[in-house]
Amino acid sequence: MIFKTTPSQTVGPYFAIGLPWPEGPHAVDPATPGAFTITGTIYDGAGVPIPDHLLETWQADPEGRFADMHGHGGASQMEGFRGFARYGVEVGDGEYQIVTVKPGRVKEPGGRLQAPHIAVTLMARGMLNRVVTRIYFGDEEEANASDPVLSLVPADRRQTLIATPEDGGYRFDIHVQGPGETVFFDV
């Protein structure tokens, strides 16, 4: 390392004038067969929804390939797949929705397969840096049971990383603080 990184600062309350765009919440074209919605609410430590949050997701396609800018790991061949979604609104109510498909299984560096998962970045006014979590899927019990990342999480907190199947997709709420606090990762 020659240089130090530029420090993070809060995204603040006014990011909606610059960061969201209409198709931003779509990790895939919504017309894609099998596309579903992940919906959730972001809560603060008092259990109050955080209306001014910015949520971003990043994931593999169903074949386990990423739409990586350099094609790393073999570029996704899926039509209309971006794998990245950004949700943030000017006047929010604490909810988010993203449209996506279920990712395939990708390897960790030791060669084991990970369970299907989506990486999440969450920012908001009052957060001086992003926090990072992961979405796993409640209907992937077998894969989740052997997932190398989930196994690093204390067993009694793993449930905070599991999205619940519901009509039209999944629900994944995030508790930034307090009872049922979501697991956040140091990456």
Nearer of residues 34 and 111 to other proteins, judged by Cβ = 111
Residue where the block lists tokens 């790393």: 72
* Cβ atoms < 10 Å from Cβ of 108: 11
CA separation for the pair 54, 124 (Å, rounded): 6
Is 29 one of the binding residues for other proteins (CB under 8 A)? no
Instruction: Classify residue 152 as left (phi > 0), alpha (psi -120 to 50) or beta.
Output: alpha
Is 79 one of the binding residues for other proteins (CB under 8 A)? no
Query: Under a CB-based contact definition with an 8 Å cutoff, are residues 66 and 83 in contact?
Result: yes
Question: Rounded to the nearest whole angstrom, what is the least distance from the CB of residue 39 to other proteins in the complex?
Answer: 21
Question: Rounded to the nearest whole angstrom, what is the least distance from the CB of residue 144 to other proteins in the complex?
Answer: 15
Nearer of residues 107 and 168 to other proteins, judged by Cβ = 107
Is 80 one of the binding residues for other proteins (CB under 8 A)? no
Binding span for other proteins by CB under 8 A among 18-26, 30-38, 136-144, 164-172: 18-26
Residue 163 makes CB contacts below 8 A (sequence gap 6+) with 38, 40, 135, 136, 137, 138, 170, 171, 172
CA separation for the pair 29, 100 (Å, rounded): 8
* Among residues 28, 55, 60, 101, the one that binds other proteins under rule CB under 8 A: 60
Question: Total residues at the site for other proteins (CB under 8 A)?
Answer: 79
DSSP bridge pairs for 3: none
* Among residues 77, 145, 152, 166, the one that binds other proteins under rule CB under 8 A: 152
Residues in region 95-124 near other proteins by CB under 8 A: 106-110, 112, 114, 117, 119, 121, 123-124
Question: Rounded to the nearest whole angstrom, what is the least distance from the CB of residue 141 to other proteins in the complex?
Answer: 20
